[in-house]
Amino acid sequence: MANIYVANRQIVKPGDLLAEGDDVIAGSYTYKVGSKVYGTVIGLAEVKENAVSIIPLEGVVVPREGDLVIGVVVGVGVTNWFIDIRAPYKAVLNASEAVEQFNPLTDDIRKYFDVGDYILAKVLIFDRSRGPVLTTKAKGLGKIVEGVVIDVKPSRVPRIVGKRKTMLEVLTSLTNCSITAAVNGRIWIKCPNSLLEDIVVRAIRKIESEAHIPGLTDRIRKFIEDEKRRVGIQ
Amino acid sequence: MSSRPTLIKENGLRHDHRRPDELRPIKMEVGVLKNADGSALVEFGNTKVIAAVYGPREPPAKYMLSPEKAIVRCRYHMAPFSTIERKSPAPSRREIELSKVIREALESAIFTELFPRSAVDIFIEVLQADGGTRTAGLTAASLALADAGVPMRDLIAAVAVGKVDGVIVLDIDEVEDEYGEADMPVGMMPSLNQVVLLQLNGVMTREEFDAAMDLAMKGISEIYRLQKEALSKKYMLYTEE
């Protein structure tokens, strides 16, 4: 017998009793004691039949293997770079994962990436015993040379992307900007002009602060259309 | 104060006109500091405490790390201006001990095993002290942790009970602590009905202890309700727009 005490998208807090019953499945950010399921973070409840999980509203995101991240180079070694990816762990990017045929004797590693550079990378290896190892060997990965990168709360990235990328679709189609949202809470925005760039940044800030309120996609669509009209772009 | 004040008056009320089972007016606010990942301000009457949480993050020194769980570092500190007579800002014996008991209480609530090789830093600063600072600090720290999105088993609500003039009273203040017979801070995870902090300074009989514990639980359930309310309020602001 499953008793679920929360509604879908209801705000829950740590220690809230979410559900009770032996067949209830405790999803992410919840835990089970006996037959009772409790929440562990502040977030929105997600109920699917007899499974309960929480979409967190705060907190750090620990990236997983295969995730796209935007990092900042914070250190340079002989054959590797140290990258800050806004996680509790510092990431490593080996030269062999960024440059073909890198030879530290003849080549200067700083020629490729230097301290302060933003890079788009993928998490190659990450387990609990060592820090994440990145790679830039794929299409579109590497140094970010144009546009802007803004920091948002990592917990808001799923909302900025939206279900089946609906929100991202609204942002890109209305502004002609290209937007890359990395799971670690960094958003790379490339726009045709600075007026559109400003609108996109403000729209993302709006998503960030209103992530828990339903009907967000429509509000963002209206916001962008209103702003475009106000600054006279059609 | 030269002579001992009357703590329980003839009409049964306390020196500040509270009933024995009455809390002081409590105020809580979440997200008060921008730079911290999570923060909270808690007031129990004249006691005013602010807490800030950073992390889980990379700690400054690798030797502290544990390969299987996040380490929790906690600093309880009283501001030099928090007391009537200036308090030296250097950490005292008492503050070091309180940092440890508060850290241990919080460690039992946080899922530290989710973030191996990282550190969670908790800072508790007492802005104004009027008794019950450790319980107010613990209450604030657990709110700040929730605000930072650190996964935990439950919020921790804490309150101090005591015995003054032979009467068991809830939420004792500075005067009652100084002239009373016993002081017992209690911290709990109310949903799970687990005690995470329990200290007793003074003398109580077995019966008095049981009565004090019951009274503490009553106060804690009220504080717990206020904590949940304070957390909701941060998100209500946006909803009303």
Instruction: Report the sign of the C-alpha dihedral through residues A207, A213, A217, A221, in that order.
Output: negative
Instruction: Report the sign of the C-alpha dihedral through residues B211, B217, B220, B221, in that order.
Output: negative
Closest residue on chain A to B230 (Cα): A13
Amino acid identity for residue A213 in this structure: I
Q: Closest to A29 (Cβ–Cβ): which among B119, B151, B235? A: B151
Distance CA A181, CA A189 (A): 9
Distance CA A15, CA A200 (A): 37
B150, B194, B226, B227, best to mutate vs chain A, most A CBs in 10 Å: B150
Give the predicted TM-score (pTM) of the model. 0.90
Distance CA B87, CA A156 (A): 43
Contact A41 B38 (CB under 8 A): no
Q: Tokens for A226, please give them.
A: 């209103």
The distance of Cα B218 from the centroid of its chain, to the nearest Å, equals 16
Contact A13 B151 (CB under 8 A): no
- How many beta-carbon pairs below 8 A join chains A and B? 91
Contact A41 B190 (CB under 8 A): no
Amino acid identity for residue A153 in this structure: K
Distance CA A109, CA A201 (A): 33
CA distance B239 to chain A (A): 7
Nearest to B51 by CA among B130, B120, B114: B120
Q: Are B39 and B137 in contact (CB under 8 A)?
A: no
Q: Are A50 and A4 in contact (CB under 8 A)?
A: yes
Contact B111 A13 (CB under 8 A): no
CA distance A64 to chain B (A): 13
Distance CA B140, CA B162 (A): 21
- So what's the pLDDT on residue A103? 87
Nearest to B162 by CA among B97, B211, B100, B105: B211
DSSP label at B24? P
Distance CA A189, CA A201 (A): 8
Per DSSP, helices labelled H in chain B are: 93-107, 133-147, 174-179, 206-240
Distance CA B99, CA B97 (A): 5
Q: Tokens for B41, please give them.
A: 């301000």
* Phi, psi of B35, rounded to the nearest 5 degrees: -70, -30
Contact B151 A88 (CB under 8 A): no
CA distance B158 to chain A (A): 15
Q: Are B142 and B153 in contact (CB under 8 A)?
A: no
Number of other residues whose CB lies within 10 A of the CB of residue B216: 26
How wide is the angle at C-alpha A155 spanned by C-alphas A151 and A158, nearest 5°? 95
Q: Are B113 and B68 in contact (CB under 8 A)?
A: yes
Number of other residues whose CB lies within 10 A of the CB of residue A169: 13
Q: Are B117 and B67 in contact (CB under 8 A)?
A: yes
Q: Which residue has the tokens 């990236």?
A: A63
Closest residue on chain A to B194 (Cα): A15
Q: Which residue has the tokens 């727009």?
A: B241
Q: Are A81 and A75 in contact (CB under 8 A)?
A: yes
pLDDT in tens, chain B (241 residues): 457 888 899 899 999 999 999 999 999 999 999 999 999 999 999 999 999 999 899 887 888 888 889 999 999 999 999 999 999 999 999 999 999 999 999 999 999 999 999 999 999 999 999 999 999 999 999 999 999 999 999 999 999 999 999 999 999 999 999 999 999 999 999 999 999 999 999 999 999 999 999 999 999 999 999 999 999 988 775 544 4
Contact A88 B55 (CB under 8 A): yes
Contact A56 B149 (CB under 8 A): yes
pLDDT in tens, chain A (234 residues): 688 999 988 899 999 999 999 999 999 999 999 999 999 999 989 998 889 999 899 988 888 899 999 999 999 999 999 999 998 899 999 999 998 888 888 888 999 999 999 999 999 999 878 889 999 998 889 999 999 999 999 988 988 998 889 999 999 999 999 999 999 999 999 999 999 999 999 999 999 888 888 888 999 999 999 999 998 876
